[in-house]
Amino acid sequence: MAEDGPRTSGTRRRRSRLLVVVLALVLAYGAADAADAVPGVLTTDPVPPDARPFPELALPGGPVVAPTVEGPDESAEVPTRAGLEELVSAFESDPRRTGSFGLVVADAITGEVILDHDGETPRSPASSLKVLTGAAALAALGADRTLTTSAVLADEDTVTLRGGGDTLLAPGEGDPSLTNGHAGLADLAEATAQALRQRDVTRVDLDLDDTLFTDPLYHPDWGPIDRTFVSAIQPIALDSGRSGGAYSDDPGVDAAVAFADALEERGVEVTGIDRGAAPQEADVLATVESAPISAVVRHMLRESDNSLAEVLGHLVAVERGEDADFTGSTAAVRAVLRDLGADVSAVTMADASGLSPATTVPPAVLVDVLRLSDDPANRNLHGLVPGLAVGGLDGTLSDRFTGDAAGYVRAKTGTLVRSVSLTGLVLTADGRPLHFSLIASDLSPGTGSLAHLAMEDLVTDMAACGCA
């Protein structure tokens, strides 16, 4: 029992030394914490003062209020012919305008023509022609229709990329919130690779099937300058045929290369790319869908996309059983408009985009198609006018009508060397919506920009006037 005493005493001394060490460490860490040298909750810094309230700023001119644009008012007074003629007289004598012009203005509620200044004479509409192409595409294809791009198994080791008219494909993943890039080739490649793995296929040839459209790729009226504003017309493309900041002369191959790269990234070896049509009964491996035609037409109108306009014209030809070339496209567009009730007897269409100066349209026909698009019976066309660019806001009008008329004008612009145009809808100060089409043609070379300014002033005056 005597031996227990020294062991207990030694244990107590060791415990005391341990407590001293622990206490020293705690005090040292606490000091470091208070000095903010290590993470913790203690600090020797003074207590920060309460936050000062955010100063109230007095904005010059009072509080910021978002501008509002009044909607159409069926009880609003209709401009008189005499009131509009005053504006036309000013435009007629404007030194910035050369050549001649045609103008038609109609009440968008009743459809009654209020003013017709040489509106039956066919003139080169430039890109205002896209109003006709857009209307025909909506009517023939349907506003809700989508365009399918597919990958099919042509034989046991050949995959065919089949173009179905979507020329707004993304090379990577698609974005459902977008029109340009709605469907993505990376998504198509992912689904295709999965389907091939299920068949134990890891190495394929790739064919491009772009036979939905037929040659020529370019309209013969389009010269070298025109081709800087349009791609070769094929039924499959990335970003409407743009490649490296320019328009491609083979957008289908560009899409095929992007698809092949996406397959390689997913473990499928692509041994080569060629052109070839797969049998219609070939097994479908995967598909992706474009945005609805209503959104595609809106994108075409707002951005004045020449390539997309021609593609839509070719698709109308396919739908109507015509040859999917420029001749079939223009014949099909005219036929659809005629079926809608438009008098196209004086319309000459060389192409569907308005690039060709051989295309001529009376302003009265453009206004008539706008009127038809508002007809309750033409449900598919109801997105035509809302698809036009808004003055001072978006598309080709983002930097035009930025003054008092901002938000009061929706229009399709048009510009060629000797012709400029505006076609759309303007809301008057009284709240009356008016359809209009203004085409100035036979311009002196180099005066197009000045003519555009004169046109904007005329339409701005129409928006500002009561004219009753």
CB 439, CB 416: distance < 8 Å: no
CA distance 326 to 317: 9
List, edge to edge, every strand of the sheet that includes 148-155.
269-275, 203-209, 158-162, 148-155, 283-289
CA distance 317 to 315: 5
Q: ω before 216 within 30° of 0 (cis)?
A: yes
CA distance 319 to 110: 32
CA dist 144 → 138, 139, 380, 381 (Å) = 9, 11, 8, 11
CA distance 327 to 180: 27
Following DSSP, what letter does each residue of 343-359 receive, concatenated? --TT-B-S-SSS-STT-
CB 363, CB 435: distance < 8 Å: no
CB 161, CB 398: distance < 8 Å: no
| Length of the chain as a residue count | 468
CB atoms within 10 A of CB 83: 18
181 HSE (CA, 13 A, CB side): 9
CA dist 54 → 48, 51, 61 (Å) = 17, 9, 21
Residue spans of alpha helices (H) in 162-208: 185-198
CB 410, CB 465: distance < 8 Å: no
The catalytic residues are 127, 130, 304
With b for 16 or more beta-carbon neighbours within 10 A and e for fewer, the 355-389 pattern comes to bbbebbbbbbbbbbbbbbbbeeebebbbbbbebbb
Residue bearing tokens 């009440």:
107
CB 149, CB 287: distance < 8 Å: yes
Residue spans of alpha helices (H) in 216-250: none
3-state SS assignment for residue 428: coil
CB 413, CB 389: distance < 8 Å: yes
Q: Per DSSP, what are the bridge partners of residue 390?
A: 410
